[in-house]
Amino acid sequence: MSTDSFRLPLCVPLNTQQTEDGLRQLQGWHWDREHGSIAKTWVFDRFTTAAEFFAQLAVLAEQQDHHPEVTSAYTRMQVRLWTHDVQGISSRDFALAHALDALVAAVFSNRLSTQDTP
Ligand SMILES: C[C@H](O)[C@H](O)[C@H]1CNC2=NC(N)=NC(=O)C2=N1
């Protein structure tokens, strides 16, 4: 049997309508059309909290075998999601976006910055 079938992407790129619908189910995420990603920024109370968030994000990313681009600047963490395998945004990006929001709600909600906005 050919091994090629195992390399077929498990998902397809979402179209404009599907991406906009997906974003409506989320809060604080936006579509960066130029970059071709969905993105969200969190600002935490301390640098060490942001670092802890990154560590837990890494666990989720590994579980989902889906890896974001993360930009860290002191207490600010920007997460960008897109699917390299399909060169677009897919359901895998939305699955991880929901998981990250759930993580922040469950673990970090009282350690977000009250001084700063994303
Ligand atoms: C083989 C492995 O499953 C793929 O390379 C995964 C890994 N992590 C990934 N992460 C992201 N963001 N997009 C992908 O297409 C992707 N593909």
pLDDT, residue 2, reads: 47
Q: How far is the CA of 26 from the centre of ligand 1 (A)?
A: 22
Please work out whether the CB of residue 46 comes within 6 Å of at least one atom of ligand 1.
no
* Residue 60 forms part of a structural domain: yes
- The atom number, within ligand 1, closest to the CA of 67 reads 10
Ligand 1 within 6 A of 83 CB? yes
Residue 46 falls inside a structural domain? yes
Domain range for 58: 13-111
- Residue 10 reports pLDDT greater than 80: no
Q: How many domains does the chain have?
A: 1
Residue 60 CB coordination number (10 Å): 16
CA R_g for the chain: 15
Judge if the beta carbon of residue 85 lies within 6 A of ligand 1: yes
| C-alpha 85 – ligand 1 centre gap (Å) | 6
Amino acid at 99: A
Which pLDDT tens digit goes with each residue over 24-70? 999 999 999 999 999 999 999 999 999 999 999 999 999 999 999 99
Bridge partners (DSSP) of residue 76 are: 43, 73
Residue 6 resides in a domain: no
pTM for the whole structure: 0.91
Cα separations (Å) of 8 from 34, 91, 96?
Answer: 26, 15, 20
Write out the H or E segment, with its range, that includes residue 21. Answer: helix 16-24
Mean pLDDT, to the nearest integer, of 8-14? 77
For residue 2, tell me if it sits in a domain.
Answer: no
Examine residue 80 and state whether it is found in any structural domain, yes or no: yes
